Amino acid sequence: MKMADTLYLKIDKNVQVKNKQVHLKDIAVLSCASKSIENKVKTLRLPTEIMKGPGRYVFDIIDVIETIEKEFPSLEINNLGEADFIITVEKPEKLPEILSLGKTAAVCILSFFGAAFSIMAFNNDIGVTTLFSQLYETFTGKKSNGFTILELSYSIGVGLGILIFFHHFAKKKGGTDPTPLEVEMRTYEDEIDTTIIESGNRNERQC
């Protein structure tokens, strides 16, 4: 007796697509010993009636399995990915390049002055200027003019510390470790996806 073919599929928590006509190959990684079955499954379309336009939509892996079983009822399906996932339909239109560059420049300017203000406010709160003046006078016996080796070392150390902390040098050396900012952004994105999925499941139960 011939054993049933097994299809392995894996879907990430958040998948981006360009339009509402979604084929399984657009959202899933598929593998099957029978390449003919694998290629046919890749072309199957996922029911997307709930997708009215650009946005994020929650789907259940059962939707995918039912779509496959309609065409291949005897196929054994093994899910290696998420039980619930999000399909993000991207907006087709793109900002003109000049507007995109302007937006990036505005964010950089705001981030620069915001960070500078935070550092100055911190230094003012703890009295760094007074502290450096007292230390300089204690060790040299001279009055500080406000710009000494202490202030210079502190300024260089702040900038250098930021570069090292965010792994800018490691990137140039071919390092693959994510920066702390990338870790925080990934954690934030994962929490957003989890919240959207939980909200979608809650709304389905209430219907």
157-176 pLDDT tens trace: 887 887 777 665 555 555 56
Considering the domain architecture, whether residues 106 and 73 belong to the same structural domain is answered as no
Q: Name the domain boundary from 89, 119, 152.
A: 89
Residue 51 is predicted with a pLDDT of 79
Q: Taking the CA atoms of the chain, what radius of gyration do you get in angstroms?
A: 28
pLDDT band of residue 124 (cuts 50, 70, 90) is: confident
Structure confidence by residue, pLDDT tens digits, 72-102: 988 899 999 888 999 988 876 666 778 878 8
Taking alpha carbons only, the member of 11, 10, 14, 12 closest to residue 192 is 14
- How far CA 17 is from CA of 21, 52, 54, 114, 171, in Å, comes to 9, 14, 10, 35, 29
Mean pLDDT for the chain? 83
Do 103 and 196 have their domain in common?
yes
* Percent of the chain at pLDDT exceeding 70: 88
Average of per-residue pLDDT across 34-56? 87
Residue 174 pLDDT: 54
Give the SS3 label for residue 28.
strand
Q: Is the pLDDT of residue 204 over 70?
A: no
User: Domain span at residue 33?
Assistant: 6-89
Rounded mean pLDDT of 33-42?
90
Q: What is the CATH number of the domain that holds 31?
A: 2.60.480.10
Q: In this predicted structure, what is the pLDDT of residue 30? A: 92
Number of domains in the chain: 2
6 compared with 177, residue with greater pLDDT: 6
Closest by Cα among 37, 47, 36 to 72: 37
* CA atoms within 13 Å, Cβ hemisphere of 178: 8
pLDDT value, residue 96: 75
**Rounded average pLDDT over 149-160:** 84
Residue 1 lies in a domain: no
